[in-house]
Amino acid sequence: MSEAVRFERVALIGLGLIAGSMSLAMRRAGIAGEITGYARSAATRDTAREISLVDRVCDSAQDAVKDADLVVLAVPVGAMADVMADIAPVLKKGALVTDVGSVKRSVFDAVLPQLPEGVSFVGSHPMAGTEHSGPRAGFAELFDNRWCLIVAPEGAEEATVEKLETFWRALGSQTERMDVGHHDLVCAVVSHAPHLIAYTMVGVADDLSRVTDQEVIKFSAAGFRDFTRIAASDPTMWRDVFLTNKEATLEILGRFTEELFALQRAIRQGDGEHLHDYFTRTRAIRRGIIEAGQDTDAPDFGRAKKSD
C-alpha cells in the first residue's frame, strides 16, 4: 500500500479536541491543501479563528464542506444525523466522509441513509483522547502511536478504505479494521464501561465527602485520582456514548456486576486465594498494555512530581 496521501480540501465539522488535533496533525504531516472548519456556537468559531486552528472557519457547515474532498464529522454521536442532513445536499461528488465518533452502529444509522450518490463513507475511531474538550484542547501529537479503528460499511471500496488508513497513519496512528458490531463491543469493554465505573466511583466519593468533611478530596490517592480524571470527561459526549451504545454497554456492565459480586463474596468469606489469583491475572493485563507501548511503566503513571 502506498503511504502517500493528500486531500486538497478537508472540512472538519465540530472544532473540539479531536478535530483540533486532526487539523494540527494534518499540518504537521503536510497532507492537506486547505482545512476548513465549522462548529455550532459562535464562541467556538471565534476561538478557532483566534488561534488559527484551521485555515478558514466558516459560519455554516454547508460552506465548510463545499468542494471538500474529505469531510470529518467530529461532533458528539447524537448530533451526527442532524449534521449529515444539513451537509448532504452540498457534498461534492467523489468526496469521502468519515466520522470520529466513539460508537459506530448509531453513526452508520445516522449517516448511511443520507449519503448522496457518488459520495463514500467509512468510519474512523481514533482511540486517543484526554479529559479536555473544546477548540483549545487539541494538540498535534494526540494520535501518535495510538490506534485508529477503521470501520467500513458493507460494500465500501477497498481503495477508499486504504486511503483513509493511509490518512490516519500520516497523522501518527496505527490502524486496524473492525466490523461495526465488534467495534461497539470492544469499545464497551475498553472504554465505555470503564468510564461509567469511574463516573460512579467519583459520585460515591462525592456523597461520602459530605460525611467525611472533604477528606476524600484532600487525601485522594492515586487510584481515586485516576478515576477523577476519567470522570472529568465531556458530559455531552459521554451521555451520547451510553445512549447510543446501549446494548454492548449493558452486556459488559452485567458481566462486571457478576464479577463484583464474586469479589464481594471472596472478601466476606476471607477467601484470600480467590482475591490473589484474580489480582495476579489483572496485573498481567497491565504488563501486556505496557509491552504493547500503549502506556508508560513510569511509577505514578509518569506524572510530574509537581502535579502530585
Q: In what order do the strands lie in the sheet with 7-13?
A: 56-57, 32-38, 7-13, 70-73, 96-99, 120-121
Question: C-alpha distances in angstroms, 188 versus 79, 258, 283?
Answer: 20, 16, 21
CB nearer to ligand NAP: give 157 or 176: 176
In 3D space, the residue among 145, 140, 78, 69 whose CA is nearest the CA of residue 109 turns out to be 78
In 3D space, the residue among 16, 6, 12 whose CA is nearest the CA of residue 236 turns out to be 16
The nearest distance, CB 214 to ligand NAP, in angstroms, is 29
CB nearer to ligand NAP: give 134 or 153: 134
Torsion sign over Cα 187, 73, 153, 111: positive
The nearest distance, CB 215 to ligand NAP, in angstroms, is 30
CB nearer to ligand NAP: give 83 or 202: 83
CB nearer to ligand NAP: give 17 or 24: 17
| Grid coordinates given for 33 | 491543501
The percent of the chain in helix, strand and coil, each rounded to the nearest 5, is 55, 15, 30
By the criterion CB under 6 A, which residues form the site for ligand NAP?
A: 13-19, 39-41, 44, 74-77, 79, 82-83, 100-102, 126, 129, 133-134, 137, 234, 237
The nearest distance, CB 130 to ligand NAP, in angstroms, is 6
The nearest distance, CB 160 to ligand NAP, in angstroms, is 21
3-class secondary-structure state, position 259: helix
CB nearer to ligand NAP: give 79 or 263: 79
| Grid coordinates given for 5 | 496521501
256 and 190 in contact (C-beta within 8 Å)?
no
The nearest distance, CB 308 to ligand NAP, in angstroms, is 24
CB nearer to ligand NAP: give 74 or 216: 74
The nearest distance, CB 265 to ligand NAP, in angstroms, is 35
The nearest distance, CB 37 to ligand NAP, in angstroms, is 9
Distance linking the first and last C-alpha atoms of the chain: 46
3-class secondary-structure state, position 184: helix
CB nearer to ligand NAP: give 31 or 58: 58
